[in-house]
């Protein structure tokens, strides 16, 4: 069995120092996704911050290939790593060094743990608003391709910095979001294009996935929290000094400067 408490403390120290460690398979690190979520939960307790949102990593094949995992991963988002539009994001020691354009939803009602699975209609009814999202993921492991699914779940699904755009006033539905195109701009140049369907066949389906995943874990989603549903297009290289914009077209855009 992994050492849940010690693994979480090692990761907490890495967060605090903005540092990373070598991954070596052994008794410290989890072997299963369930153990990974136990470490992540303990890490959240050690951070002593409210969970204001959730992220889904590896919803697209490109994202899974990038971090060498076999399924989507859920991770917690805290106030200290979340930003509003036009934020200046500290980036100098980010090892992944990529940006991702995403769809994000704020919830207006709870989706608590329960025995039966949530349907798409139930999850749609819980959505309060749609937002453009811009993620700059990172890992507390120097080589983030080594820990695998369980290790990167423990590492809070590679959460680092997330920028949440303003809520869109444009009406939307599940079908149109899957087909909707997105663009990531770096220094005003388009670097990748994607579609909502890149993330688990559509942002709403991704939201259903995390609602049911967290329900099975006994956690659930709460009203007022937001969920960012995963990369559209490809994770695109960025560096300190870049200006980055995630563009969802009629649904708005969100920007950040990397400092």
Residue with tokens 């050492």: 3
Q: Is residue 160 part of a domain?
A: yes
Q: Is residue 163 part of a domain?
A: yes
Q: Which residues of 62-74 are buried (b: 16+ CB within 10 A; e: fewer)?
A: bbbebbbbeebbb
Containing structural domain, residue 126: 50-258
Q: Is residue 209 part of a domain?
A: yes
- Record the tokens describing residue 161, joined without a space: 């910095």
pLDDT tens for each residue of the chain, 259 residues long: 689 999 999 999 999 999 999 998 877 899 999 999 999 999 999 999 999 999 999 997 777 887 899 999 999 999 999 999 999 999 988 999 999 999 999 999 999 999 999 999 999 999 999 999 999 999 999 999 999 999 999 999 999 999 999 999 999 887 799 999 999 999 999 999 999 999 999 999 999 999 999 999 999 999 999 999 999 999 999 999 999 999 999 999 999 999 9
Q: Is residue 39 part of a domain?
A: no
Q: Is residue 5 part of a domain?
A: no
**Domains identified in the chain, total number:** 1
pTM of structure: 0.95
CATH number where 128 lies: 3.90.850.10
- Record the tokens describing residue 101, joined without a space: 């354009």
Q: Is residue 103 part of a domain?
A: yes
Q: Is residue 173 part of a domain?
A: yes
Cα 73 off chain centre by: 8
Longest dimension (CA), the chain: 50
Q: Is residue 104 part of a domain?
A: yes
DSSP 8-state assignment for residue 97? -
- The answer to whether the beta carbons of residues 177 and 202 sit under 8 Å apart is yes
Residue with tokens 């992994």: 2
Identify the H or E element spanning 209: helix 203-216
């Amino acid at each position: 069995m992994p050492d849940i408490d010690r693994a979480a403390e090692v990761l907490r120290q890495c967060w605090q120092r903005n540092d990373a460690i070598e991954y070596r398979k052994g008794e410290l690190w989890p072997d299963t996704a369930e153990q990974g979520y136990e470490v992540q939960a303990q890490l959240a307790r050690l951070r002593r911050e409210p969970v204001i949102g959730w992220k889904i990593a590896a919803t697209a094949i490109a994202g899974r290939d990038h971090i060498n995992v076999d399924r989507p991963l859920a991770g917690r988002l805290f106030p200290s790593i979340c930003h509003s539009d036009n934020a200046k994001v500290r980036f100098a020691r980010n090892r992944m060094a990529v940006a991702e354009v995403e769809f994000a939803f704020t919830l207006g009602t709870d989706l608590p743990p329960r025995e039966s699975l949530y349907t798409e209609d139930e999850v749609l009814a819980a959505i309060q608003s749609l937002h453009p999202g811009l993620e700059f993921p990172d890992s507390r492991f120097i080589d983030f391709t080594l820990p695998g699914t369980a290790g990167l779940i423990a590492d809070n699904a590679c959460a680092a910095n997330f920028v949440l755009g303003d809520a869109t006033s444009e009406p939307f539905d599940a079908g149109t979001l899957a087909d909707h195109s997105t663009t990531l701009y770096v220094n005003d140049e388009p670097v990748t294009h994607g579609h909502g369907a890149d993330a688990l066949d559509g942002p709403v389906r991704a939201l259903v996935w995390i609602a049911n995943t967290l329900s099975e874990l006994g956690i659930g989603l709460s009203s007022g929290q937001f969920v960012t549903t995963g990369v559209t297009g490809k994770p695109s290289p960025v560096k300190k000094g870049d200006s980055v914009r995630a563009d969802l077209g009629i649904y708005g855009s969100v920007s950040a400067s990397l400092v």
